[in-house]
Amino acid sequence: MSPSRRTLISTAVAALALSTIATLPALAQGLPKLKVGLMLPYTGTYAALGNAIENGFRLHVAEQGGKLGGREVEYVKVDDESDPSKATDNVNKLVKRDNVDVLIGSVHSGVAMAMAKVAKDTGTVLIVPNAGADAVTGAMCAPNIFRSSFSNWQPGYAMGEVVAKKGHKKVVTITWKYAAGDESVKGFKESFEKGGGTVVKELNLPFPNVEFQALLTEIAAAKPDAVFTFFAGGGAVKFVKDYAAAGLKKTIPLYGSGFLTDGTLEAQGADANGLFTALHYADSLNTPRDNAFRLAYAKTYKLQPDVYAVQGYDAAQMLGIGMAAVKGDISKKAEFSAAVEKAKIDSPRGAFTLSKAHNPVQDFYLRQVGDKENKLVSIASKALADPARGCKM
Ligand code: PHB
């Protein structure tokens, strides 16, 4: 090659490199921040759950350098107080006043159903990082609605199989009277009765009441072989303590969906020891993925993570996968959804995929409380998929 031609080429290459360097920051600056609307409970019986979800979400975003799909993440927060009567107003404020690009929420099933309705009507992407309302990935399912957590049916169904296999025949259930309680019990009953057991009594109290005494007296009188329960957060702490204080722990085994003992063990102390629950997470999975997550979480927040932290972290992972596929342009709804739908999400709980209705297909672990941990006992139900009843998608 002649010297003049070589000079020409190298000058052209240098010019190209220079122009690339020059346009890159300009491009990055050109992308507006991604407005993430966090609608979670920061007060009330589920306050700790809301905080853990936010912590988990922020941890993943921080691990990505504060950006998803090339856009810096900015948060707009609303305390939904786990109050369904305020939920429609709260979510409309986020979508219409604050113009968020995506909705993340919530913990309470009733609140999440109001969010799903607005998401469906406005086309805003919604990722539910906890609330199990079966309808969210059932009758209300939509291309822009995703869940990083579970359906209420799932842990109930997994536990029903375990309790039937343990040989218990007659069970009393006790829970809060709203979607999460009702649907957990329904899932439990479906598999427990298939396994030969009978639910002899279904006890309830309104959410978020914690006056359990009269109901515990009824349990003592009914003398069932076992009790199945759904409670979570502050209510779960009080229920486990009251169950033991009433002397029932020694005579009638208590089983629950795993929320009963997740994020609650410090406060429940010895009263939780030995309890069996089923959930899509445990404290002693001891996989490299979970160990790395637990270390990063503990370092960042000086707290141990729980299932809620994992669900928040995975909501951010799912959003990140969609955002990367559309290169930051979340208005490309079909491409965003397709990417999340086909993803294998590398969760600390174990990798999972989504069902057609956008609910995690995942393993449910049987756990037992010991040393202030939900220790892994076995896999209660492998790759359990919610039946997505009523979803037409
Ligand atoms: C719900 O309302 O769906 C719910 C709340 C707290 C939990 C689990 C489910 O821990």
- Condensed to tens digits (0 to 9), the pLDDT of residues 134-174 reads 999 999 999 999 999 999 999 999 999 999 999 999 999 99
What pLDDT score was predicted for residue 30?
74
- Domain 34-150+284-358 and domain 153-279 have a common topology: yes
Instruction: Check pocket membership of 359 for ligand 1, CB cut-off 6 A.
Output: no
Instruction: Check pocket membership of 232 for ligand 1, CB cut-off 6 A.
Output: yes
Q: Is the pLDDT of residue 9 over 60?
A: no
**Exposed (0-12), middle (13-18) or buried (19+): which is 169, by Cβ within 10 Å?**
middle
- Condensed to tens digits (0 to 9), the pLDDT of residues 237-256 reads 999 999 999 999 999 999 99
Instruction: Check pocket membership of 311 for ligand 1, CB cut-off 6 A.
Output: no
Cα of 227 from ligand 1 centre, angstroms: 19
Give 364's Cβ-side CA count (13 Å radius).
Answer: 29
Cα of 280 from ligand 1 centre, angstroms: 13
What pLDDT score was predicted for residue 29?
56
Which of 310, 267, 306 lies closest to 289 in space, CA to CA?
310
What pLDDT score was predicted for residue 13?
43
Using most ligand atoms within 8 A of CB, pick from 53, 113, 130, 307 the residue to mutate for ligand 1.
130
| Lowest model confidence (mean pLDDT) among 9-13, 37-41, 221-225, 309-313 | 9-13
Cα of 236 from ligand 1 centre, angstroms: 11
Instruction: List the structure tokens of 69.
Output: 């799909």
Rounded mean pLDDT, 117-131: 98
Instruction: Check pocket membership of 321 for ligand 1, CB cut-off 6 A.
Output: no
Cα of 103 from ligand 1 centre, angstroms: 18
Cα of 109 from ligand 1 centre, angstroms: 6
Contact 381, 278 (CB under 8 A): yes
Instruction: List the structure tokens of 13.
Output: 């290459």
Q: How far apart are CA 181 and CA 205, in angstroms?
A: 10
Query: What's the CATH code, domain 153-279?
Result: 3.40.50.2300
> What is the chain's percent helix, strand, coil content, to nearest 5?
45, 20, 30
Element (H, E) at 278: strand 276-279
Instruction: Check pocket membership of 259 for ligand 1, CB cut-off 6 A.
Output: yes
Q: Is the pLDDT of residue 25 over 50?
A: no
Q: Is the pLDDT of residue 111 over 50?
A: yes
Domain ranges (residues) in the chain: 34-150+284-358, 153-279
Listed in sequence order, the DSSP H helices in the chain are 3-30, 47-63, 84-92, 109-122, 153-165, 179-194, 213-222, 233-245, 265-268, 288-301, 307-325, 333-342
pLDDT band at residue 200 using 50, 70 and 90 as cut-offs? very high
Rounded mean pLDDT, 104-124: 98
Give me the percent of the chain exceeding a pLDDT of 70.
93
Instruction: Check pocket membership of 108 for ligand 1, CB cut-off 6 A.
Output: yes
Instruction: Check pocket membership of 115 for ligand 1, CB cut-off 6 A.
Output: no
Q: Is the pLDDT of residue 383 over 50?
A: yes
308 Cα nearest atom in ligand 1? 10
Match domain 34-150+284-358 to its CATH number in 3.40.50.2300, 3.20.20.150, 3.20.20.80, 3.40.640.10: 3.40.50.2300
Q: Is the pLDDT of residue 218 over 50?
A: yes
